[in-house]
Structure 1
């Protein structure tokens, strides 16, 4: 049994806390809202994020981050990308040497083009020995909380730490693989949210399965092009944190990004969408980050560029689709050749 601190009491943080609690670990979960923390401790529910789900009694909740981190063996960060640096700064006074910092968030920082593991490492003291591990893959919190079969990947520059995290989470309903490609695992998890927004948008416009299949296929090629340019292993994008996560996020009503895109396709403004969602939609911020990063490293990402126009330049979704369909003719191999590993 290990002592795990879960920082972030939203749907995904709570679902992962349940997995750890099912494995008989001592789990402390941290959140900022007193009323939510009281609900978790007294009623063993978190109904705003996971309605009708009963939480294990070995999950204890706190608003005091210092109490959450007492004697912990591992820290799990499950907060929005924009909050990563702030939360890492909060844990520094309580951080024990050598314990892994796991993150299960999916995004890229627009201002720096940094992946989340890079953001965490930048905020840690120089020479710090805490390994950073990412957990990613096709995993809706709603299904994980119901203990439905789910499979994910963990990755780190320290594979001993990745295997330790694999053992923390692995059980009959939550299978965990390891993957040494940290860059690919993080980028796949982040960039698929862009394509999921587009998938929801095309559904909102009334397009059919043909359009969605084309979007997902071309979207995967686009993700891989950027990933390979940044040093990822091409094979990662055909795995759980690439194709797997892309499929589940583009095709499920559980997906926040799909739902947000669907509202946009039906004519709602971005402000109206965010107000109705009431939760973070990581794909919006990631679209901005990927658009800027692609320009910086000279990688063509037409789907991302089209969505950026809709989100940030008030382009009509119909006009963005028309531009994509009217692009100059190409050979499919021109875009897909980079997905194959070098012989």
Structure 2
């Protein structure tokens, strides 16, 4: 299968490496002025992985859109602009796979919703979600992930052609739940980092339990299956997000409460805005997500917010 990967960052470059490893003909697209693409063109390395010579490096979007399958891996807040750019080039009957986790901060829309309302040409859309870090995959550590789509045929095609001994794919059954769960796990990751920064790491067990329950309520309120919160998109991704040294969201939270700068992308900082918009629309209480928002955007003291969480009215666990 001929596949293009749009986005030459950490995750996009890994996807190109992985799909080439599984026997596909792969192009990796990056903008001409991208420092990451220039580094790949010069050395075929980015400090984490080395791309095989079979992977074609391209800076022409028209060329990248010639492939049958287009995997998109960019920061979530840039998806609408990218979809509009692709729409103008009008490549019909392509399958777009969103290998990214987030919500549009200003609207709360899921990423597939953005693509569907922006990309007006005939196409199919899928999402590729779940746990794992580039460094661990590249070192040969396997993991499980999920692919979901409105189209059963698209799911079957992608799962069958993408699966390998390194990634075991499952068929997703709840696009709403999988997208919301994947975006929300980054918010929980920020909360975990805040606990680490405050020396309260022992609270992570409670955070995972109550965080999953909170997101399950939101998924159900939005019309999805609440059990999705307990799957690979959310709870299954907690180890990689809540504990890992490679987690940008966890590190962002830790640095934030310590008052230290952090320059890497933490998608949860954008997703929390969108999640609270969804919570408002669905009349769903999300105390942990609200706490993260209050610390990051309302500049409230993290310790004060934790005390407020502990002073909430007592209730049944389930």
After TM superposition, list the pairs within 5 Å mapping 1:78-89 onto structure 2.
78-89=73-84
Match of 1:337 in 2: none
Q: Secondary structure at the match of 2:94?
A: coil
Match of 1:267 in 2: 259
Q: 2:60 aligns with which of 47, 61, 64?
A: 64
Aligned residues: 317
Match of 1:31 in 2: 30
The 2-side partners of 1:287 and 1:238 are apart by 19
Distance verdict in 2 for CA 1:34–1:217, change over 3 Å? closer
Greater mean alpha carbon deviation, residues 135-144 or residues 30-39: 30-39
**Structure 1 residues 252-303: Cα deviation after superposition (integer angstroms, max 9, x where no partner):** 11110000011122233xxx3xxx32x3210001111112221221101001
After TM superposition, list the pairs within 5 Å mapping 1:130-149 onto structure 2.
130-149=123-142
Q: 2:308 aligns with which of 323, 329, 340?
A: 323
Match of 1:204 in 2: 197
Match of 1:45 in 2: 45
* Contact 2:107 2:277 (C-alpha < 8 Å) held by counterparts: no
Q: Secondary structure at the match of 1:151?
A: strand
For the aligned residues, what is the CA RMSD?
1.5
Q: Secondary structure at the match of 1:231?
A: coil
State whether structure 2 residue 161 is matched by structure 1 residue 162. Answer: no
The 1-side partners of 2:226 and 2:52 are apart by 39
State whether structure 2 residue 192 is matched by structure 1 residue 193. Answer: no
The 1-side partners of 2:36 and 2:193 are apart by 30
**TM-score under structure 1 normalisation?**
0.89
Distance verdict in 2 for CA 1:56–1:167, change over 3 Å? farther
**TM-score under structure 2 normalisation?**
0.95
* Structure 1 portions without partners, runs of 5+: 334-343
After TM superposition, list the pairs within 5 Å mapping 1:1-343 onto structure 2.
2-32=1-31, 33-47=33-47, 50=48, 53-70=49-66, 72-125=67-120, 128-209=121-202, 211-268=203-260, 272=261, 276-277=262-263, 279-333=264-318
Q: Secondary structure at the match of 1:240?
A: coil
The 1-side partners of 2:317 and 2:50 are apart by 49
**Structure 1 residues 84-115: Cα deviation after superposition (integer angstroms, max 9, x where no partner):** 01111222244433221000111111222210
1:178 shift after superposition = 0.8
The 2-side partners of 1:244 and 1:88 are apart by 29
* Contact 2:70 2:97 (C-alpha < 8 Å) held by counterparts: yes
